[in-house]
Amino acid sequence: MAVRWAGAPPAEMLYYTFPFREAWSARGLRNSLMRTMPGKVYIGTSGWNYKSWREDFYGDTPQKQWLRFCAERFTAIEVNGTFYRLQPQSTFEKWRDETPGRFSFAIKGHRYVTHNKKLIDVEEPVIRCRDAASPLGKRLAAVVWQLPAFFKKNVERLEKFLQTLRHWETMRHAIEFRHKTWFDDEVAECLTKHSVAVCMSDAPDWPMWDRVTTNLVYIRLHGHTRKYASSYNKPALSKWATRIQRWLKENRHVHVYFDNDAEGAAPKNVLTLLEMLR
């Protein structure tokens, strides 16, 4: 099944063998893969600066070239560091210039908005996040806002936050809910009204809400049995591939980011899923 790629996977999408750094070339994309699906798929890892990936993935590639290395193999990447620190515009410029023009980014919204302020009076910090990331331009495809696991449903607060996101109305947004009290029709309707997606978040420490609320589908795979560590086997990835194909047929844009980075499973899972979707 052909897929319309959001980034620039290689022209020759062959079954890879170890080591992964030799799996694919970075020649771009066949035209036949570009026009068959109205939806786009963005698949990558959550972050890239992991020394534990050196042996099986990066090999002899210098660390300063790791982002480009990923960009030549994935279709997008999620920046996890923006959750912890407000990056200067110069950093976003550097990321933009180090990667091919068709490669896309997603970023995590800063934790000051979600964890410190808990969505209250966050107009100014949301604008700061927007302005900082502006050098990415259209290369920035989505922003995901991760709520604390202990943060229970508060629709009034959610509604005000979604209204605040109008200050960043050119951007697609997703919210990662980690407490099950949010998982109901009232919240879903609120998100649909504002065209904001549920972030489907798979991990052993919190439940996953797989509700689709708009034409954006955003998925974070943290490791199903061991958070940030366990790999997804082929049957599990095949199930995700089937769902992704269905969403693409429904004209939805699909983001999938693997956050099971601790033991190097994330890049391997990305390459496997990309191959399943070729």
* Domain boundaries defined on the chain: 20-276
Q: How far is CA 185 from CA 8, 152, 191, 252, in A?
A: 37, 15, 10, 20
Burial code (b: 16+ CB inside 10 Å, e: under 16) for 197-235 equals bbbbbbbeebebbebbbbbbbbbbbbbbeebbebbbeee
Q: Which residue has the tokens 């005000």?
A: 160
pLDDT of residue 253: 98
Strand ranges in 47-195 using DSSP code E only, listed in sequence order: 76-79, 104-108, 140-146, 173-176
Instruction: Evaluate whether 234 touches 273 at the Cβ level (below 8 Å).
Output: no
CA distance 100 to 77: 12
According to the model, what pLDDT value does residue 15 have? 29
**Can you tell me which residue has the tokens 């290395």?**
69
pLDDT at residue 34 is higher than 70: no
C-beta atoms surrounding 240 within 10 Å = 21
Q: Tell me how far apart the alpha carbons of residues 275 and 268 are, in angstroms, rounded to a whole number.
A: 11
Residue spans of alpha helices (H) in 38-79: 66-71
Residue 4 is predicted with a pLDDT of 62
Q: Helix, strand or coil for residue 255?
A: strand
* pLDDT at residue 24 is higher than 70: no
pTM above 0.85, yes or no: yes
Task: Tell me if 2 sits within 8 A of 32, measured CB to CB.
Answer: yes
The tens digit of pLDDT for each residue in 151-188 reads: 999 999 999 999 999 999 999 999 999 999 999 999 99
Angle value at C-alpha 171, between 125 and 44, nearest 5 degrees? 100
pLDDT at 3: 63
pLDDT bracket for residue 11 (50, 70, 90): very low
The pair phi, psi for residue 52, each rounded to 5°, is: -70, -15
pLDDT grade, residue 39 (50/70/90)? confident
pLDDT at 108: 98
Kindly give the pairing relationship between strand 253-258 and strand 41-45. Answer: parallel
User: Looking at the predicted structure, is the pLDDT value of residue 89 above 80?
Assistant: yes
Burial of 70 (0-12, 13-18, 19+ CB in 10 A): buried
The predicted-structure confidence for 179-219, as pLDDT tens digits, reads as follows 999 999 999 999 999 999 999 999 999 999 999 999 999 99
* CATH T-level assignment (fold) for domain 20-276: TIM Barrel (3.20.20)
Bridge partners of 253, per DSSP, are 216
